[in-house]
Structure 1
Amino acid sequence: MAMSHHLLLLLALLSVLVLPTSSAASASTLTQSSSSTISGDQTLASPGNAFQLGLFSASNHSKWFLGIWFTVSPDTVVWVANRDRPLNTSSGVLRVSDRGALVLADGATTNATVVWSSSSSSSSSDSPGAGAVAELRDTGNLVLTDAAGAVVWQSFEHPTNTFLPEMRVGKSLKTGAEWSLSSWRAADDPSPGDFRYVMAAPPGGAPELHVWRGARKTYRTGPWNGVRFSGIPEMTTFENMFQFQFTDTADEVSYMFRNRDGSPMSRVLLNESGVMQRMVWDNASAAWSNFWSGPRDQCDAYGRCGAFGVCNVVDAFVCACIRGFAPASEAQWYMRNTSGGCARSTALQCGDGDGFYLLRGVKLPDTHNTSVDAGATLEECGRRCLADCACTAYSAADIRGGGGCIQWFGDLMDTRYVDGGQDLYVRLAKSELDAAKRTRKFAAGITLVVAGFTLLLLSLAFLVWRKARRSKKVTIADDAAELMSGECPTYPPGVIRTATNGFCADNVIGRGGFGIVYKGQLPDGQQVAVKKLSSENTVQGLNEFINEVVLIAKLQHRNLVRLLGCCAHSSSERMLVYEYMSNKSLDAFIFDERRRASLSWKTRLDIILGIARGVLYLHQDSRLNIIHRDLKAANVLLDADMVAKISDFGIARLFTTTADRQETITKTIIGTYGYMAPEYAMDGTVSFMQDVYSFGVLLLEIVSGRKNHRSFNLIAYAWGLWEGGRSQDVLDAAIRGGCTGAELAQAAACVQVALLCVQECPSQRPPMADVIPMLSQQKAPVPRPRRPVVCTPVTGHPAAAALAVQAVREMVTCGSTELTITTLEGR
């Protein structure tokens, strides 16, 4: 009886050992054993279960492919074996053949047809033979090794449309093997599509990555400059998540990336439209988010402005010619066909008759006609270029130390302006450089004449004003004291001097057109910020000082900075005492490469809502209805808890609307470029919508971490992404990868709200009472925003400039307000 019991146990154990493989294979390897196969719905899992290998269907289950996918995202297939020869059913079988090759057949029978084999794509002619093993690793790499463990084939050497960490894109200069991506035909068709992502490595030149559509180049990254690709300055903000490696040796030219410890899963996809997308996995939403895309805008379209053209996406007419060049065809250029590019205005003289024009902040031109000397200095590079009549430009090959030399021969193609771009020295005839110098001198002379005339007028005006003031026998200090009477507490000058340690330079925490801000401590221990107004600008300084005291002393709100008191001992000692903000101003965070990464999306949204509530309080909920008129990042302070508080009411204005009065006109425009509403900048129209526009610009800056200025039109940038359905890409790359799907949706909604706020016509902008519910997602941000008018200065062609001027005229005449002559004062 005992014997039969033990026999039953032994038989049961043997039966377990020979059971067929389950539908989800637990092993990560395949051997040459006849039972070691993958078929049907069976899969091979990597050791850590990060990836799986198996058959998947496409085109409504009419085609079957062998592929590798993420375990957490089965729909995300990163590699396909039989792209050109799909199976008709799921009866395919993957095995390791007797010769040691991975083989996919359309059935398990001996006469089954082989539709794919690793030997047909192997870079080695040797067959592994007996003892070969195929392993799916946690990197997503399917590796075939021989009996000694040497790698004889791997899927990373034969990528499809996805670039994974540890994978290379490039080529072997010894064997000629190329590692490149090719897009899928369609979202449900893995067969090779129209686009390829390849490394271009001209002999002796500068390598760079290209996207091709058939025989036509559509996008390029620019050359590697020691830190990043020239045309992708955003890569510097990725370094906290990824480590980049570029190899350029006699044996190999390649590029790869690795995820840093703690970073989420990521991949780079060449999609069916030819767009490179860096995707990052969000665990919270269990979905992929688009971290970066290229091409990013119309200036990334290869050759948009032709030879010797330069593209600037923030200009109304994006193409211009490099200095010293003119459109090759004026007629075609006028019709917006810029592919013909530009031609030299003056032929090169060669030798000492030429020089160089410095083109700053660009993606370097196409490198197919370049030569590189990694050991040459930039100065030596310039001398070599002048000595070679065929050389048209040069630049630094490595920006880390300014070393290395790239020289261009022939046309300069596909040059564009980018944030954080490189310097390019373009060769011009000496006469062109002399003309440029004369133009600069003439402009400087005109500026001096205008400045002198303006100074004379101001001096006369000051003398008239002083005479009028003296006739009333009222001093500046007396006038200030009278206006401030009863508005806020006053401090003796001695108390303020002691609190700031005698206005010590070590206590300075800010500077501006108004003067200097010092950190101080009152006798009771309270920390304060003391704004000491400059005595040099007596007229404007006094007006702003009195304006701030009269207005802010009557306002109390969580999101407005609190005025504790003031001091007006004399014209040289006008001071305002505020509560101290330990985190200083918002611009110190969002425009700082390192600090802005510490501003999570939740913190940014809280800051945005705080500013919005503060503006709403000014417009409708306070005792006084106030237009701030200078809402910007520098005038938003942050306390220890990162609560936003609006400050600087020096040019604020009391304003009350009525049924027949929604706006007024001022002849003196004071504010900050980049934040001014167009109707205010152009004709002096003052209304609450002026602050709404500034809030929209500020909102885009907080979301993107980028400043709106003349060389980068943030509104145009955000509009382009929103119009293309890529609002999430506006979000600061420093935090985008760590955001949940819900947070990315909030950021996209904020972009749409911002675009509504910066509509050209004031009547099209929502009041702040509507903006806050939109930001809080209590109601949809409707209506859809209209396309903004990009009114930056245009260069390159008179017709384009005329069109831009006409666009601005149309913009400012969208209402019924008549234009008036105004005086503009920048801050």
Structure 2
Amino acid sequence: MGRLYITCLYILIIALPNCTATDILSKDSPISITQTLVSSNQVYELGFFIPGNSTNRYLGIWFKNITAKKIIWVANRENPLSVSDDGSSLTISDDGNLRILDGQDKTVWSTGLRGHFNETIAQLTDMGDFCINDTLSGSILWESFDYPGNVLLPGMKLGTKVNIKGKHLLSSWKNDDDPTPGNFMVGLSAEQPPQVFIWDDSKPKWRGGPWDGGKFVGIPEQYPGYSNQIALMPRNSQEGAYLSIHQLYSSDIQWLYLQPNGVFQLKYWDDNINTWDINWEAPAKLCDVYGVCGAFAICNNTKRGMCECLKGFVPHSNDEWSKGNWTRGCVRRSELLCEKNETSLAFGKTKPDTFWEIRGIKLPDYYIYFPNMGNDTCQQWCLGNCSCKAYAYVPGIYCMAWTDELMDIEKFQQGGENLFLRLSYADSDPNTNLGEKTNTTKVIISLTTIGGVLLLCGFAFCTYRWTTYKKGRKTNLDHFNSEDGLSRDTLQEDALRQESFELPIFQFKQILVVTDNFSYKNKLGEGGFGAVYKGMLDDGQQIAVKRLRLLGNFGQGTEEFKNEIVLISKLQHRNLVKLLGCCMEGEERLLIYEYMTNKSLDTFLFDPKKRKQLDWPTRFNIIQGIGRGLIYLHRDSCLRIIHRDLKCSNILLDEKMNPKISDFGLARSFQITQEHANTSRIVGTYGYMSPEYAMGGVISEKSDVFSYGVMLLEIISGKRNTEFIHQEQIYPLAHAWESWKEGRGIELMDPVLEGSGCVSEGLRCIQVALLCAQDLPKDRPTMTEAISMLSSETELPKPKEPLFTLQRLSSGQEFQNMCSSNAITISMIEGR
């Protein structure tokens, strides 16, 4: 009897451990909906749960000994079990995978390991990580830390959004009772250095600024040493970097939690009040919300208006701004020096741009950075690049620069970085900062302004009376000398009274309204004969308004205006821009065109970022579209037109990137039987002019063919015609011929096209471009022949050496003296 008692007691002692909670799951011991796994330190527990009032059951992990139960990980977020299914279980299958089975033994969720692993166990670790371990090799085959839900625990990694399968990214629950992935996500951006973001679907909701090696500079320290709890771990460039957090003390229970409403919180358990408390959250204030003030504006929570434009900028819409709608942001008040063309510089101030320091802010988004570049070098780089809007020098990051809109700037009460904003000299008043002036300065400026206005009004009145007296209140405009000997009165008759001319006439005051008084924020660009502004008619149609500049009684502008309204109003082709109307009041000459969403070709082709949008099919479509437009002008239209000013800035792109030839101010009409003409007024852009036109004033359709060839090389290479090759110091046209002759034509192609499979088609385009840009007109194909060559597979003629352009430059200064800017049309008067 005694021996039996001892035997039973021994069996009971052996069996007791199997009745207590364990942290191990094996093939032989699946867990049911009533069983759980508990980590060895008794902090974490894994099992089935029902969230709130839900009718679904999930497998998850939570903190074990805390009464306010919080779920920190869910396995089957998108594949719930029914509450009524009591036969569900978690098991390890024969292939080594974890599986959740319903009451009918159907797999609801699996870890999805590829391969077959005979000996595996699953363990809930003391850090809250649920792992599958290979007992033979000791390696971890899968872990829950790689697939977080809405919680980031110490030891987890927060990864980059570009990672596949969403690994290491947090995603919110739909609501407190539904673990299904919601709209919000937290992760790192793929840029260098990375930022931490909260995204609402694909739109940013909040960002923490770039990583400086110890912290995110857009998150000011809430308490000393917070940055000691986070670290950024570099990984290979394909996967980006990972952020991890860790506990300062082993007794701490803290975690980062993404709420269903997109608020990111650092929570900790407070034993004193027995509840969860919040240590930090984002966004915490309205200024924390991404882009709340729009571009080129700063948000300050301590100010009543909250949003204000940066110094030198004004609201995009005063009406919206006054109503508290700031999302459209601000626009620059005055042009930068580098944005002015040669004509503007001749009539205005030429004082250099300056930098204005804005202190203690959250630096804007969309930056580029230059590691190991010093502060002075950084400033010089920014000043030397017209696209650079601002720069900053941050210890740990070094030089940062902004070439896009300055977005999401916040004023901090403590901490923050300093930004150097690029301003025109006119906006660099040292007495102002972010649009604020001292009271004394305001009084002085007000008095000076009032006095100046009164003086100006008096001068204008006297001038008006004197002019009226001298001219006898004439209403007709003076005659002027032009190539055709026409007067301005005659011009108006030609424009308004021709039987075939039915172009709508707009009132000047109407154009003033739709362009907001020709405000700088609506300015699309500027050429040699005037500026172009964006506007919107009452019916909602967007338009582009070209305001021609009339330079004196004998200057340019009027003849160009006549050409546009007489010529283009008669032309209808899908690859020509459409003229909607015109305006002639006093000295004002306005042309109203259809608005092109993507502006001009040069804004994409010569921009380091935007050029990537021009893949080879898009470029080839543009090449063919321009060619079709020229065929129509030369051969198929009711008039025979020579454009004379073909260049990338005169090729507009619609919303589908289809090309449209614009700017017919310099165009000439020919008789159908006329092959060429001579002119004493040589106009156009140097670098695109054919040799016979630039040197002798001879015009023909082959003049446009030459310009087309130059444009072809620009479209293929992504380089401006006037850029010279630094190593050889020759024009790209000559460089293209030498490269083609030596079998190195592929080197001319834009690097962003690499891997697009366009080599053979691109090389053919280069050869056609060289044929179009031959020195002698007889050696160039017609536009019809050129387009046929691009599309056919026949063998092409071999181009000759371009002697006219094959000239080596001794210095960059000589190059500058020879050519004008590609963006500006120039005139060269040469008597014959």
- Higher CA-based Rg: 2
Larger RCO (alpha carbons 8 Å, 6+ apart): 1
TM-score normalised to structure 2 length: 0.48
